Amino acid sequence: MTITVVKKGDTLESIAIRYNVDPTMIVDVNGLETTALVPGLALYIPTRVRNRTYIIRENDTLSEIAKRYMTSVAAIKKANPGLSNILMIGREIMIPSPFKKQLVTMGFAFPASGGEVFEMVEENGDKLTYLAIVAYSFTEEGYAYVDGDDLPLIEKCKQNGVTPLLMIRNFQNGDFKADLAGDVLTNSIYRRNLITSVLNFVKEKGYGGVSMDLEFVPPANRSEYVAFLQEIKEEMVDLILQVNVHAKTEDNPDNQIVGGHDYRGIGKVADLVAVMTIDYGYPTGPPEPISPIWWMRQVLQYAVSTIPANIIQAAIPMYGYDWLIPSNKTRALSAQNAQNLAITTNSEIRFDRNAASPTYSYVQEKSEYIVWFEDIRSINEKYQVIDAYELAGTTYWHIGLRFPQNWAYIQQNILVIK
């Protein structure tokens, strides 16, 4: 795999000649809408599988690592200049290996997105293990209800070898409701209503399991949330229970945003736990990276200390945010649209090394805007972290947002577990 960053004077044709590829391949893989380029634009040229990433652990030896990845000690040392036989615990090293990363991948999708999502499932069904269908919430008495027709999307998943999961959220009137979650979790009758109604929908419509997305659970109800998950899991038998949790770097049980998610308790119940390593930079907040790599590392370091790494998924955003300065009014853009906006506004893209995130600014109608988004460079580093921590896989919010570089990366570098 090759990532090339456009420099002043580069053209699509000159880059194609440099890598001996067809220019139309570069256009398609990178979702370009024009042949124009801007400095700082990262282009993905699929050529070969990249090195694997590994974190040295206690009692590791180079010979054992080489055997595990079907490579040689000499090849590892060549990929890591200065590496000695005395290994430092916690150091990340690169490992040349013929083995691809094996990951469980999960996308999220809204049935109302219609043809766009159907097209994405058809194009990338081979790159998805699960698709969580975002169409369900529940009443104050705990009765689950569906908002929209999810049956065609369920069928589309099955046609393309993707297991559909029913996503249930405490979402009403355009926002997550902490009180809705708290009131239902603390009432045994309402909890029973929610379990029964959710599993009835699962059975009736042929879902392969449940994706639980109760956000802003009141801290006082964190134990009730774990109990609820235990209760529903007991009745799910062989069905998958996947739980999404807020990102945090330590347990802070009194925090109103993240306190309701008890990582250790949830990790003992769920089949998969997705840590939402997204929205570090958030709408109406100050312009910041969506998912800076330093923050992702901190979050995952805590996560693997409380949840088995082999059931953790790390979230990868498929989008960027465009902030109007100084009001910080924000609009969301797909990763592809954020990239192409830089081209149409002739804006040079800067890659923040500390955050491993691309950004640019532009002026339109005398107003200044700042954009942070994801590209092939940023997701490459995220996949390396996922590999290094030996996580189960990743999630994508959401597949209706186009990010062709991501799907090309998976095709080239990852073996998706089905």
Question: Which band of pLDDT confidence, cut at 50, 70 and 90, is reported for residue 97?
Answer: confident
Q: Is the pLDDT of residue 260 over 80?
A: yes
Percentage of the residues of the chain whose pLDDT score is greater than 70: 99
Give the burial string for 245-257 (b: 16+ CB within 10 Å, else e): bbbbeebeeeeee
**Residue range 338-365: mean pLDDT, rounded:** 98
| CA 342, chain centre distance (Å) | 23
**Residue range 55-62: mean pLDDT, rounded:** 90
**Residue range 114-129: mean pLDDT, rounded:** 92
**Which H/E stretch holds residue 332?**
strand 329-334
- The rounded mean pLDDT for the chain is 95
- Residue of 180, 132, 176 lying closest to 157 (CA atoms): 132
Q: Is the pLDDT of residue 181 over 80?
A: yes
More confident residue, 306 or 116: 306
Q: Residue 132 in contact with residue 211, Cβ under 8 Å?
A: yes
**Residue range 275-297: mean pLDDT, rounded:** 98
**DSSP classification of residue 178:** H
CB hemisphere CA count around 302 (13 angstroms): 17
Predicted local distance difference test score (pLDDT) of residue 5: 98
Tell me the C-alpha distance between 146 and 150, whole Å: 8
Predicted local distance difference test score (pLDDT) of residue 96: 85
Q: Residue 386 in contact with residue 395, Cβ under 8 Å?
A: no
**DSSP classification of residue 51:** P
Question: Which band of pLDDT confidence, cut at 50, 70 and 90, is reported for residue 234?
Answer: very high
Q: Residue 43 in contact with residue 15, Cβ under 8 Å?
A: yes
Q: Is the pLDDT of residue 219 over 70?
A: yes
Q: Residue 111 in contact with residue 117, Cβ under 8 Å?
A: yes
Question: Which band of pLDDT confidence, cut at 50, 70 and 90, is reported for residue 67?
Answer: confident
- ω into residue 398 within 30 of 0, thus cis? yes
Give the Cα-Cα-Cα angle 282, 146, 132 (nearest 5 degrees): 55
Which residue carries 């997705």 as its tokens?
A: 274
Output phi, psi for 136, to 5 deg. Answer: -125, 140
Tokens of 209: 């399991």
Tokens of 299: 């979050």
Question: Which band of pLDDT confidence, cut at 50, 70 and 90, is reported for residue 244?
Answer: very high
DSSP one-letter string for 187-237: -HHHHHHHHHHHHHHHHHHT-SEEEEE--S--GGGHHHHHHHHHHHHHHHT
**DSSP classification of residue 127:** G
Q: What does the longest C-alpha to C-alpha distance in the chain come to?
A: 67
**Residue range 205-222: mean pLDDT, rounded:** 98
Question: Which band of pLDDT confidence, cut at 50, 70 and 90, is reported for residue 49?
Answer: low
Q: Is the pLDDT of residue 85 over 80?
A: yes
Give the burial string for 352-385 (b: 16+ CB within 10 Å, else e): eeebbbbbbbbeeeeeebbbbbbbbbbbbbbbbb
| CA distances (Å), origin 297, targets 51, 287, 320, 381 | 19, 20, 20, 11
- Residue of 29, 22, 120 lying closest to 404 (CA atoms): 29
Residue 323: how many CB atoms within 10 A of its CB?
23
Predicted local distance difference test score (pLDDT) of residue 48: 65
More confident residue, 115 or 33: 33
Tell me the C-alpha distance between 80 and 409, whole Å: 23
> 372-417 pLDDT, tens per residue?
999 999 999 999 999 999 999 999 999 999 999 999 999 989 999 9
- ω into residue 326 within 30 of 0, thus cis? yes
